[in-house]
Structures are given as structure tokens and as C-alpha cells.
Amino acid sequence: MKKCKCKLGSKLGKFLLKFCGIFVALNAVLFIVFFFDLDGKLLFNVVEPFLKKHYDDMERKDVLKEPYDLDKFPKYKYDM
């Protein structure tokens, strides 16, 4: 059988082999992240404490110190 002298088939084969290898490696990494729940652990151990610290330090209006009047009701109509 004659060997093909063109380099296109060789380059295409190498490209497909690299593409399949990258695809399999990426799929394996994503499976490991899913199997061990690494995204949830990252959110729980890194992101959540940062958000708690940020939002717990915010100034808020104390609704318990506002007067409670029975005869005053809020407007439920839109002013247009």
C-alpha cells in the first residue's frame, strides 16, 4: 500500500488526537469536581464567609424602634 505524501492527513490526525485528549481530560476534571462536590465546598468555605462578613456589617434600619400606629395605613395605589 502506498503511503500518502500529503501532510494534511497527518496534521488532521494529530489535531483530532489532541482535541480528543483535551476533551477527555476536561471531562475527567469536571467529573471529579461533580463527584466530590468541590464547587459546593468552595462556596461554603470561601464565598459564604466573605458574604456573611460583608452583609452582617451593613447598617440597617431598626424596625422595632418605629412607632406602631393602627390608624395609619400605607398607600397601596400607584401615583401616576
Which grid coordinates are listed for 19? 482535541
Question: CA of 43: how far to CAs of 48, 51, 53, 58, in Å?
Answer: 6, 10, 14, 21
Q: Is residue 45 part of a domain?
A: yes
Query: What pLDDT is stored for residue 68 in this prediction?
Result: 72
What is the per-residue pLDDT for 4? Answer: 62
Q: Structurally, how many domains does the chain consist of?
A: 1
46/65 Cα distance (integer angstroms): 35
Residue 2 counted as domain residue: no
Q: What is the pLDDT of residue 57?
A: 85
Q: Split the chain (80 residues) into runs of 10 and give each run's mean pLDDT.
A: 68 92 98 97 95 88 76 68
Is there a domain that residue 36 lies in?
yes
According to the model, what pLDDT value does residue 3 have?
65
